[in-house]
């Protein structure tokens, strides 16, 4: 749980569901029992010493009307899809909570070296473009087989890797039902492999928390 600067100020940390209770206990121990309020998909904690924590619901979580419902929904196991793509590799997974029920990892050949100028470079660009298009089509086929039959039960689709590669896959018209489920969260992952897919699942379910420290005493 590495904290990093948050847009608009404060520090951002992503907490996996299994560690949320411990994080809340630590926040209370450091800053005192906080006042809990709700604002849409966000729960706000205001501590006696001036510290503030804004907890944002993970992808696929329903709107909660009170803090207890928010926390229960944040850690609840839900059906979700994962689509990771980078370069010529793709990983697709179907999970319920932290249980990866089904997955497929594939790699296609796409040239990466630049060629000489002139007609050779143009032929190289066309050939590489055709290879990339074929790779995206193959990845879309995997998503069609693995995720599309489950589109009605999925609560969200979390993507990651290279945004252009993911966009090219989801441009396939067959995947329109999945595109509607795509979460704003985009995971920064290396070239997809099975281990990368498994490690991405907790991150896909993490609760994003923005922390504002108390003002220093004058």
Range of the structural domain that residue 69 is part of = 4-77+206-212
Q: Is residue 162 part of a domain?
A: yes
Report the distance separating Cα 161 and Cα 191, nearest Å.
Answer: 7
Beta strands in 108-171 (DSSP E): 156-161
CA 92-108-186 angle, 5° bins = 40
Total count of residues recorded for the chain: 218
Task: Tell me the pLDDT tens digit for each residue of 171-217.
Answer: 999 999 999 999 999 999 999 999 999 999 999 999 999 999 988 76
CB 175 within 8 A of CB 169: yes
Specify the number of domains making up the chain.
2
Report the distance separating Cα 190 and Cα 86, nearest Å.
Answer: 7
**pLDDT, the chain, mean:** 89
- pLDDT for residue 135: 59
Q: Is residue 198 part of a domain?
A: yes
Q: What sign does the CA torsion over 129, 133, 136, 142 have?
A: negative
Write down the pTM of the prediction: 0.86
Residue 9 exposed, middle or buried by CB count within 10 Å (0-12, 13-18, 19+): exposed
Between 113 and 33, whose confidence is greater? 33
The percent of residues in the chain predicted with pLDDT above 90, rounded, is: 78
Task: Tell me the pLDDT tens digit for each residue of 110-161.
Answer: 445 555 455 456 654 455 554 455 558 899 999 999 999 999 999 999 999 9
- pLDDT for residue 6: 85
Task: Tell me the pLDDT tens digit for each residue of 37-74.
Answer: 999 999 999 999 999 999 999 999 999 999 999 999 99
Q: What is the CATH number of the domain that holds 105?
A: 3.30.420.60
């Amino acid at each position: 749980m590495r904290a990093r600067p948050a847009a608009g100020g404060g520090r951002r940390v992503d907490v996996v569901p299994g560690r949320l209770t411990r994080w809340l206990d630590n926040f209370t121990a450091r800053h005192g029992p906080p006042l809990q309020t709700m604002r849409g998909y966000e729960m706000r904690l205001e501590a006696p010493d001036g510290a503030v924590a804004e907890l944002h619901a993970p992808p696929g979580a329903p709107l909660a009307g009170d803090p207890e419902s928010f926390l229960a929904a944040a850690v609840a196991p839900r059906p979700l899809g994962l689509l990771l793509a980078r370069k010529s590799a793709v990983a697709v997974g179907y999970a319920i909570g932290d249980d990866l029920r089904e997955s497929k990892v594939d790699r296609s050949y796409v040239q990466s070296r630049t060629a000489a100028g002139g007609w050779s470079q143009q032929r190289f660009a066309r050939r590489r473009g055709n290879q990339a298009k074929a790779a995206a089509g193959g990845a879309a086929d995997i998503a069609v087989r693995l995720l599309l039959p489950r589109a009605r039960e999925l609560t969200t689709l979390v993507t990651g890797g290279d945004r252009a590669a993911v966009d090219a896959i989801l441009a396939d018209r067959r995947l329109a039902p999945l595109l509607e489920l795509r979460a704003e969260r985009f995971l920064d992952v290396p070239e997809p492999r099975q281990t990368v897919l498994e490690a991405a699942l907790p991150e896909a379910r993490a609760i994003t928390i923005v922390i504002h420290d108390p003002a220093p005493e004058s």
